[in-house]
Amino acid sequence: MAGRTARLDAARFGPWALITGASSGIGRGFAEQIAANKINVVLAARRLPVMDELGRELAARHGIRFRSVRADLAGPDFMDAVIRATQDLDIGLVVSNAGDMVLGEFVAASYALLARETSLNVNSHLAIAHHFGQHLAGRGAGGLLLVSSTAALQAVPYSANYAAAKAYVFTLGEGLHHELAPRGVSVTVVLPGATKTPMLSRLGADKGSMGRLAMPVDVCVADALNSLRANRAVRISGRMNRLTAALPRSVRTRLFGAFSKSMAQQAPAADAAAPATEPA
């Protein structure tokens, strides 16, 4: 793989890793870098053929094993499929990554759409962290990585529900870092900014200043995994994102809100108002 690849201790974070939202974007990047470290992968998302293809590619390239799990991570029963697929495996690393964004005015969106967005961006992380947090604590080793967003650090007009959901993931991950450290489990919550993923393109944000500032996926993923290896509680990925986070909260709210409003105006209506269950 071109670019940066994190180095992980397979004895510490293996022999199996679970990655949610693994079929594209940041989730796919996690699968690629984890497999490069000779850790077997369980890939969970909706698009089973895409995950099977990725799994075969990673198995051929790195000599690892894989399992694909079709799971609608915004649905109420997705954990049933995940548990069935992993109950006979020693999962040493969990990457809870699935998420997506509804853009536009909060009051203009349907409640059903916002509720589905919340299920994906909050409930999926809660369920994954609870079930596998118990597993990792019981084995006394391993790692849990939660993917939040720099949107979590302040209110964001025109993606208000998304920012609120990502704030939940941020706070949950930071709390679990301190709870699980005495149990031998590393927990990191990573806050990426704009990243060059299919979601960015789908929302029409890959052009202009947002596209120019967006991080490559492999850089974001390597930074996240290296932070987990170092057992950092929180990591804002990208130097520019860390500088932006130092601005006053009111300034960040206006800045992020302007970006979201611009994306909402540029994105096709169906894309701006239809959360998927693939990684952000």
Counting Cα atoms < 13 Å in the Cβ hemisphere of 238 gives 21
Q: Residue 277 — pLDDT band, cuts 50, 70, 90? A: very low
What are residue 98's DSSP bridge partners? 279
Check: CB of residue 178 under 8 Å from CB of residue 156.
no
Q: Is the bond into 15 cis (omega within 30 degrees of 0)?
A: yes
For residue 2, name the pLDDT band (cuts at 50, 70, 90): very low
Whether residue 96 contacts residue 146, with contact meaning beta carbons closer than 8 Å, is answered with yes
Binning the chain into helix, strand and coil, the percentages to the nearest 5 are 55, 15, 30
Percent with pLDDT over 70 in the chain:
87
Would you say residue 133 lies in a domain? yes
- Decide: pTM greater than 0.85: yes
The set of residues, in sequence order, having a beta carbon less than 8 Å from that of 243 and lying 6+ positions away, is none
Beta strands in 128-184 (DSSP E): 142-147
Q: In what order do the strands lie in the sheet with 16-20?
A: 66-70, 40-45, 16-20, 91-96, 142-147, 185-191, 234-236
In this structure, is residue 118 part of a structural domain?
yes
Environment class of 57 (CB within 10 Å of its CB; exposed 0-12, middle 13-18, buried 19+) = middle
Report d(CA 98, CA 44) in Å as an integer: 9
Residue 76 CB burial class (10 angstroms; 0-12, 13-18, ≥19): exposed
Q: Are 79 and 131 in contact (CB under 8 A)?
A: yes
Beta bridge partners of 190: 147, 235
Q: Higher pLDDT residue, 263 or 209?
A: 263
Q: How many residues does the chain have?
A: 280
Domain that holds residue 247: 10-272
Which residues make beta-bridge pairs with 43? 19, 68
- Rounded Cα gap, residues 125 and 148, in angstroms: 10
Listed in sequence order, the residues at least 6 apart from 98 whose beta carbon sits closer than 8 Å to its beta carbon are 20, 21, 27, 44, 45, 73, 120, 124, 277, 278, 279
Backbone angles phi, psi at 144, to 5 degrees: -125, 125
> Domain of 104: which CATH number?
3.40.50.720
Structural domain includes residue 5: no
CA distance 159 to 168: 15
pLDDT digit string (tens) for 63-101?
999 999 999 999 999 999 999 999 999 999 999 998 989
Domain count along the chain? 1
Kindly state whether residue 279 falls inside one of the protein's structural domains: no
Q: Which residues pair with 17 in a beta bridge?
A: 41, 93
CB 36 within 8 A of CB 79: no
In a domain, 3, yes or no: no
Q: What is the mean pLDDT of residues 106-127?
A: 97
Which tokens belong to 11? 């004895």
Confidence check: pLDDT of 201 > 70: no
Q: In which band, very low, low, confident or very high, does the pLDDT at 4 lie, cut at 50, 70 and 90?
A: confident
Give the model's pLDDT for residue 279. 41
